[in-house]
Amino acid sequence: MPNLERYFDEIDLARIRRVKELSDIKVRFTTYAGPDPSNISSRAAIVLTYASWEGFYNECAFVYVRFLKELGKRVRETDWMLLLGTFKSEFDALRDKYHSDAARIQFVGNLQLLIECNFEDFDSGVIAAKSNLNFTRLSQNFHLLSFDLAPMQRFRIRLDQELVKWRHSVAHGDPPDLSNLDIRGHVDFAADLLIVLADGFQEAMLKRV
């Protein structure tokens, strides 16, 4: 049986580290703020804040997969939809072989073994953030994980319109109007998201033991 406290501590420590990063962002881009006609400070704060959000999600996801590995159950016994992570390489092979008849036959032939896999053969990439952790991506990943999305619903609009969309615009050279950006509020919003996210992963682990 996995040591639940150890996995909880990993997530808690990762969140504390990310919150410290967010606190440093607030200090760096508010306390010492001066004239910033090009919104360099605001744009930097936007990108760094999103990085904490995405980075922490991935940390939680990978901790959770390690927990599932130690739990020792087959993937299909844990969450049926997570079989996507065991089929990933077969899906890729099917695509690479242009969905030929031979490739399809091989794919179906391999299903019997894949469906009995445990998490040692699981591709964690199927539940990763993939550089665009908006509400749609989060919803999809939570569906695969069988997580309750309800606690995240109240963050939906702000998550998409500020945390993700602003970062996307800045990163692709089309920065939004940030003249009225409240850096403190933006950073605090991300910190609140981390708490809810951590709770979701920890609650899921608690239900498994």
Between CA 36 and CA 8 the distance in angstroms is 41
DSSP bridge pairs for 30: none
Domains identified in the chain, total number:
2
Q: Are residues 150 and 176 both part of a single domain?
A: yes
Prediction pTM value: 0.90
The tens digit of pLDDT for each residue in 28-76 reads 888 765 666 667 888 999 999 999 999 999 999 999 999 999 999 999 9
Structure token pair of residue 6: 């150890």
Q: Are residues 19 and 32 both part of a single domain?
A: yes
Q: Are residues 84 and 42 both part of a single domain?
A: no
Structural domain for 99, as ranges: 76-117
Q: Are residues 148 and 198 both part of a single domain?
A: yes
Between CA 59 and CA 68 the distance in angstroms is 14
Give a yes or no: residue 122 inside a domain: no
- CB burial of residue 3 (10 Å; 0-12, 13-18, 19+): exposed
Length of the chain: 209
Between CA 68 and CA 139 the distance in angstroms is 20
Q: Are residues 9 and 112 both part of a single domain?
A: no
Between CA 133 and CA 165 the distance in angstroms is 10
The tens digit of pLDDT for each residue in 89-137 reads 888 888 888 889 988 888 888 888 889 999 998 999 999 998 899 999 9
Structure token pair of residue 182: 């409240």
